Amino acid sequence: MFAAVLCCGLRVKSQPIHTLSYFIFINNEWHDSVSGKVFSTYNPATGEKICDVQEADKADVDKAVQAARSAFSLDSVWRKMDASERGKLLFKLADLVERDRAYLATLESLDTGKPFLSSFFVDLQGTIKTFRYFAGWADKIHGSTIPTDGEYFTLTRHEPIGVCGQIVPWNFPLVMTAWKLGPALSCGNTVVLKPAEQTPLTCLYIGALIREAGFPPGVVNILPGYGPTAGAAIASHMGIDKVAFTGSTEVGKLIQEAAGKSNLKRVTLELGGKSPNIIFADADFELAVEQAHQGVFFNNGQCCTAGSRIFVEEPIYDEFVRRSVERARRRTVGNPFDPTAEQGPQVSVEQQRRVLELIQSGITEGAKLECGGKAPLSKGFFVEPTVFSDVQDHMRIAKEEIFGPVQQIMKFKTIEEVIERANNTEYGLAAAVFTTDLNKAMTVSAALQAGTVWINCYNALSCQCPFGGFKMSGNGRELGEIGLKEYTEVKTITMKMSGKKS
């Protein structure tokens, strides 16, 4: 694996500071699973097992919650620490991730199948920046003083919620870990985090860095395991105050239900999408083709924000299809450690099968398969970059989240029509508009029911900006200042005053 790193011409450290861990991380220590169970994690480019990992289940979750609860007690080191010190620890963590950047990027590519250069330049950058951004907020979480009626003085404190359960997905394991830990720790919470069973490795390495950075024991606990066992245990735990989940809408609903049924823990959800990308005739054509391509194919199509419905205005439709197909045919698929590969495998055989099944439905339901459609290699879980044109809104490929390298192109006539069709989904995560006309840009972005609307770009995400879904794409927002709201509990303190002074 390090040969790949050298061949990218990067000057990197050849040995990471910590060894790879396959254990459960509780109280800054590595534990075996209570049940003795282990599970395997695979390299999706080859189908081969990387290693076995201790499998957390309910009993391990209980242990972790106990540790997190203890670390959150009123007289604990974590609770008594200056807010600015919490920030310092997060900065230190960012520095350590930066130190071990090449190793983490390699591990991430090995476990997920994403191209190494993507891991290094996108995932690792996003991870480091997110930790630094939230480090800066730690001592800037302000409450208010409020002019209430009557002889009272009122102030609010924005306190940490408590023990936060966090369940992260397999498509951006490290970045999603940073999106979860950053705000949670900045606000003073303690965490029980479950990485996806497909991709536990980089998350576990973060455990080693958390300890090295100096976070007190129990502040962050990492439990690799499965959704129906460890994940469900978190969602319905009576000792967890809040759960944050990123994953499918289907599972998001289960989590919210469990939260309601158990202890009304606070819930934030980042779920699926079927994001529309609207290309007007007056758009910068080259830009639109490339952005629409990257918008759906990035990360092997495995993005919640994937721009998987591309609405193209009639006058430019034919040319747009032609150029998109040409681009898709040029997309290089191969080993994630090959620096010329733009696309790697899907994360698992299950995902690969699902994508191929949806492609089949497209063909069956009458969309025109322009290119791709098959699994190109016998080893690994690859799917060819696939383009469908003449897609009708009722088709499965136009309605269901595919989560694979499959692009749908549809035609539209008028602005009112396309807005309605774009909004005609229970999802609402992201959307994009390509146009050079100011009015169109403002009008369409205001009308779209999506948490993020991109104008003349796609997947332009930055930790300073809130991100989240309308409708069934989620509840709440992550990132930005607003992201802090989800990790604080507001306490109002009202004091009786002996005489009113304004």
Scanning 25-33, 129-137, 273-281, 351-359 for contacts with other proteins by CB under 8 A, the matching segment is 129-137
Closest CB to other proteins among residues 142, 394:
142
* Residue 401 CA neighbour count, 13 Å, CB half: 25
CB of 111 to other proteins, least distance (A): 28
β-strand pairing of 190-194 with 220-222: parallel
Within 359-398, the residues that bind other proteins by CB under 8 A are none
Q: Which residue has the tokens 């879980």?
A: 381
Mark residues 140-179: x for contact with other proteins by CB under 8 A, - for none: x-x----------x--------------------------
β-strand pairing of 190-194 with 276-279: unpaired
Number of Cβ within 10 Å of residue 336's Cβ equals 27
Neighbouring-strand partners of residue 409: 310
Is 131 near other proteins (CB under 8 A)? no
> CA 245 → CA 249, 270, 274, 398, 401, distances in Å?
10, 6, 18, 25, 18
Closest CB to other proteins among residues 138, 185:
138
β-strand pairing of 368-371 with 474-475: unpaired
**What is d(CA 351, CA 355) in angstroms, rounded to the nearest whole number?**
6
Within 60-119, the residues that bind other proteins by CB under 8 A are 82-84, 87-88, 91
CB of 357 to other proteins, least distance (A): 38
Q: How many residues does the chain have?
A: 502
CB of 256 to other proteins, least distance (A): 28
Closest CB to other proteins among residues 107, 448:
448
Residue 372 one-letter amino acid: G
Task: Of 403, 417, 472, give the one whose Cα is nearest residue 447.
Answer: 417
Closest CB to other proteins among residues 338, 478:
478
Within 339-358, the residues that bind other proteins by CB under 8 A are none
**What is d(CA 464, CA 126) in angstroms, rounded to the nearest whole number?**
11
Q: Name which position in 66, 76, 156, 443 contacts other proteins (CB under 8 A).
A: 443
Contact 111, 41 (CB under 8 A): yes
Region for residue 474 given its phi and psi (left: phi exceeds 0; alpha: psi -120 to 50; beta: otherwise): left
Q: Integer distance in angstroms from the first to the last C-alpha of the chain?
A: 67
Q: Site size for other proteins, by CB under 8 A?
A: 30
β-strand pairing of 474-475 with 266-270: antiparallel
CB of 185 to other proteins, least distance (A): 14
Is 447 near other proteins (CB under 8 A)? yes
* Residue 327 CA neighbour count, 13 Å, CB half: 22
Is 132 near other proteins (CB under 8 A)? yes
CB of 211 to other proteins, least distance (A): 22
Q: Name which position in 65, 68, 135, 161 contacts other proteins (CB under 8 A).
A: 135
Residue 137 one-letter amino acid: W
**Residue environment code for 225-251, b if the CB has 16+ CB neighbours within 10 A, otherwise e:** bbbebbbbbbbbbebbbbbbbbbbbeb
Within 421-440, the residues that bind other proteins by CB under 8 A are 438-439
Q: Name which position in 78, 120, 137, 454 contacts other proteins (CB under 8 A).
A: 137
Active site residue 270: yes
Closest CB to other proteins among residues 262, 443:
443
Q: Name which position in 10, 48, 136, 250 contacts other proteins (CB under 8 A).
A: 136
Contact 112, 45 (CB under 8 A): no
Closest CB to other proteins among residues 132, 237:
132
Closest CB to other proteins among residues 135, 192:
135
Contact 234, 165 (CB under 8 A): yes
Residue 495 one-letter amino acid: M
CB of 446 to other proteins, least distance (A): 4
Within 463-492, the residues that bind other proteins by CB under 8 A are 464, 481
Catalytic residue among 270, 342, 370, 486: 270
Is 274 near other proteins (CB under 8 A)? no
Residues near other proteins (CB under 8 A): 82-84, 87-88, 91, 129, 132-133, 135-140, 142, 153, 438-439, 442-443, 446-447, 464, 481, 495, 497-499, 501
Residues classed as catalytic: 270
